[in-house]
Amino acid sequence: MTRVAHGAGRRLRVALDAMGGDDAPAATVAGALLAQQSGVEVILVGDESRLAALPDDVDATMPVLHAPEAVSMDEDPALALRGKRGSSIRVAAALVAQGGAEALVSAGSTGATLAAALLEIGRLPGVRRPAVAAALPGGAVLVDAGASSDVQPEALIAYAEMGSAYARTRGVSEPTVGLLNVGSEPGKGNAFARAAFDALTGTPSFVGNVEPAAVLGGAADVVVADGFTGNIFLKTLEAAAAPPAGGPGAAILLGCASPVLVAHGDASADNIAAALETARSIAEGGLVQALLQALGRAGGVGEPARG
Amino acid sequence: MTRVAHGAGRRLRVALDAMGGDDAPAATVAGALLAQQSGVEVILVGDESRLAALPDDVDATMPVLHAPEAVSMDEDPALALRGKRGSSIRVAAALVAQGGAEALVSAGSTGATLAAALLEIGRLPGVRRPAVAAALPGGAVLVDAGASSDVQPEALIAYAEMGSAYARTRGVSEPTVGLLNVGSEPGKGNAFARAAFDALTGTPSFVGNVEPAAVLGGAADVVVADGFTGNIFLKTLEAAAAPPAGGPGAAILLGCASPVLVAHGDASADNIAAALETARSIAEGGLVQALLQALGRAGGVGEPARG
């Protein structure tokens, strides 16, 4: 199989965790081939022997980086990542960290992708925990859609900054920020939501609490929540057959030093292809640089922090 | 206007907070008249002068209990209830407590209804906080759908018991119980969800974590959550246009010493009528007695605990 050359001066390349997802590697490889037809340069990372056994002749068309192990959905992400240095998601993240690709896509466990990104790619300065950004029906961006279930209320300030930077790259010039809550009035919600409301009150773009119906109605461009509440909200939308449509084909891990996208575990080949195309356009569009500016560290950035 | 006689030996009567809800008292009175046509005996509680000004001639057809004040949606419920002894929701709850009606319905603030129920009607023995039960698409009962945002994980044991008792009155012989969570595997969720999982693990009917899609797919007959998470879930379902259909027309406050139902703030006359009919059938069906048995206090129950 073709080995990956870590050369400079190439087009932007996207590393794909070929073993991540319910239907991997069949769906991931099929999605990679589709994206390739759209001009995306993809590097497959996974078990060479399993990839070679597929009917698609990936060997002839696409670079493959061998990774002998894989992380399953029911493993503890952090433990699995530390134990499996040869897992496809970790090898793919390391490839990005070493400059062999400019973005990462996985349909495997979000926790494992986050852990691999933290270990290998690292965070942007000023980011304690990356957060998942998901595009919602109605156009808003939800942050955090499921990366970190237990955070301090103050973490939502960084989510607001990162979500606003992301919204600006999507063409929203002055994004407003709302807090996902059970009622619109100040004082609504649980202790966390009330503390988060207070923490966000100093943010000029903050428009207050937004109920689920208001979120879908476009009451704010950026909607922030802890990752547990955000994930319940997102999964309920999906379950009620209002899937985040027109979205990027995958959610984005905001706060990593390179673009990292997590696709659904049941992603189809089309979903994988859409995620790969989004990854390329995000890398080309300079989202990481926009995040750096939003986080107030635009000048004199050295090495990104490592997990 | 007709004064209410607190006589015994009458048919089951439902007290309606005529001033609660966005379109009160027009919608509440219209709903009461509809329910009356279905044979529900309704007692209107509200401002006599405002009720008399309506085109419907309620005076001639329905008993009215005067209450000079009302609680608005943006007031702090507990403060408002203590300050406004003459508020319609408090007078209606007191009517039930005194035996002048057997059930209570309000489309006003859930918090104010809960506070009035705690102050006047009281809790069943063994219940620390009443919880809202809502019937979901797919048939499951969600407890707590929004009464208490901040509770201890152990509170969900009582929610499971009360929800199971309610499900049995709805014809489910051996209800299963699931914990609303972001994933199905043990260990998923935030710190609260993990602690609640551990607390529920001793319950024989507990089937583990259930994701939003599994809830709608009928993975458990009773779904328990803290009131914040449950309310986010319910409001997201409603916002995604999958309103809890085939439901009772209102959510039920489980754990009060008499049946108390909270209708939506934007309830129509039809919704109010459905809530009144549900309240009557719940009172007739002996839900409170079933809850008492479920809570293990079936024998020798004295006075219910007061707020």
Tens digit of pLDDT at every position of chain A (307 positions) = 444 444 444 579 999 999 999 999 999 999 999 999 999 999 999 999 999 888 877 777 899 999 999 998 778 888 888 889 999 999 999 999 999 999 999 999 888 999 999 999 999 998 888 999 999 988 899 999 999 999 999 999 999 999 999 999 889 999 999 999 999 999 999 999 999 999 999 899 999 999 999 999 999 999 999 999 999 999 999 888 755 654 456 899 999 999 999 998 889 999 999 999 999 999 998 999 999 988 874 333 334 444 4
Residue among B189, B215, B231 whose CB faces A228 most closely: B189
Write down the pLDDT at residue A307.
40
Predicted complex: ipTM over 0.90: no
Euclidean distance between CA atoms B294 and B222, whole angstroms: 14
> 3-class DSSP state for residue B141?
strand
Euclidean distance between CA atoms B92 and B120, whole angstroms: 9
Which residues 227-246 on chain B approach chain A with CB closer than 8 angstroms? 228-229, 231-233, 235-242
Write down the pLDDT at residue B219.
97
Please report which residue ranges of chain A form alpha helices under DSSP H: 26-37, 48-52, 58-61, 77-83, 88-97, 110-116, 155-169, 191-200, 212-216, 227-239, 269-285, 287-294
CA-to-CA separations, B250 to A302, B177, B215, B216, in angstroms, rounded: 58, 22, 19, 19
Chain B contact for A182, CB < 8 A?
yes
CA torsion angle for B199, B204, B210, B213 (degrees, to 10)?
-150
- Say if the Cβ atoms of A182 and B213 lie within 8 Å: no
- Which chain B residues are Cβ-neighbours of A74 within 8 angstroms? 185
Chain B contact for A304, CB < 8 A?
no
Euclidean distance between CA atoms A122 and B63, whole angstroms: 70
Euclidean distance between CA atoms B207 and B229, whole angstroms: 19
Which residue from A116, A152, A110, A164 is spatially nearest to A132, judged by alpha carbons? Answer: A110
DSSP category for residue A123: B
- Say if the Cβ atoms of A150 and B191 lie within 8 Å: yes
Write down the pLDDT at residue B297.
46
- Which chain A residues are Cβ-neighbours of B76 within 8 angstroms? 187
User: Quick one: closest CA in B to A193, which residue?
Assistant: B228
Write down the pLDDT at residue A78.
83
Between B19 and A245, the higher pLDDT residue: B19
Euclidean distance between CA atoms A4 and A96, whole angstroms: 12
Which residue from A236, A251, A124 is spatially nearest to A180, judged by alpha carbons? Answer: A236
> Which residues on adjacent β-strands are paired with residue B66?
B46
Mutate to test the interface with A, among B182, B211, B215, B226 (most CBs of A within 10 A): B182
| Preceding omega of A56 cis (within 30 degrees of 0) | no
- Say if the Cβ atoms of A239 and B216 lie within 8 Å: yes
- Which chain B residues are Cβ-neighbours of A231 within 8 angstroms? 182
Which whole number is the average pLDDT over B124-141?
91
Which residues 80-139 on chain A approach chain B with CB closer than 8 angstroms? none
| The token pair that represents B252 in the structure block | 């039920």
User: Quick one: closest CA in A to B242, which residue?
Assistant: A240
Euclidean distance between CA atoms A13 and A43, whole angstroms: 7
> pLDDT tens, B180-202?
999 999 999 999 999 999 999 98
Confidence at B66, pLDDT banded by 50, 70, 90: very high
Residue among B146, B190, B240 whose CB faces A149 most closely: B190
Write down the pLDDT at residue A299.
36
Euclidean distance between CA atoms B291 and B286, whole angstroms: 9
User: Quick one: closest CA in A to B75, which residue?
Assistant: A185
Cβ(A134)–Cβ(A222) below 8 Å: no
Cβ(B45)–Cβ(B86) below 8 Å: no
- Which chain A residues are Cβ-neighbours of B180 within 8 angstroms? 232
pTM: 0.87
Cβ(A19)–Cβ(A88) below 8 Å: yes
Supply φ then ψ for residue A51, to 5 degrees: -70, -35
Nearest-Cα distance to chain A for B96, in Å, is: 29
- Say if the Cβ atoms of B242 and A240 lie within 8 Å: yes
Res. B107: pLDDT tops 80: yes
Which residues 130-159 on chain A approach chain B with CB closer than 8 angstroms? 146, 149-150
Euclidean distance between CA atoms A30 and B206, whole angstroms: 40
What one-letter code names the amino acid at A165? A
- Which chain B residues are Cβ-neighbours of A211 within 8 angstroms? 235, 239
Nearby residues of B231 by Cβ (< 8 Å), 6 or more positions away = A182, B145, B146, B149
Write down the pLDDT at residue B304.
44
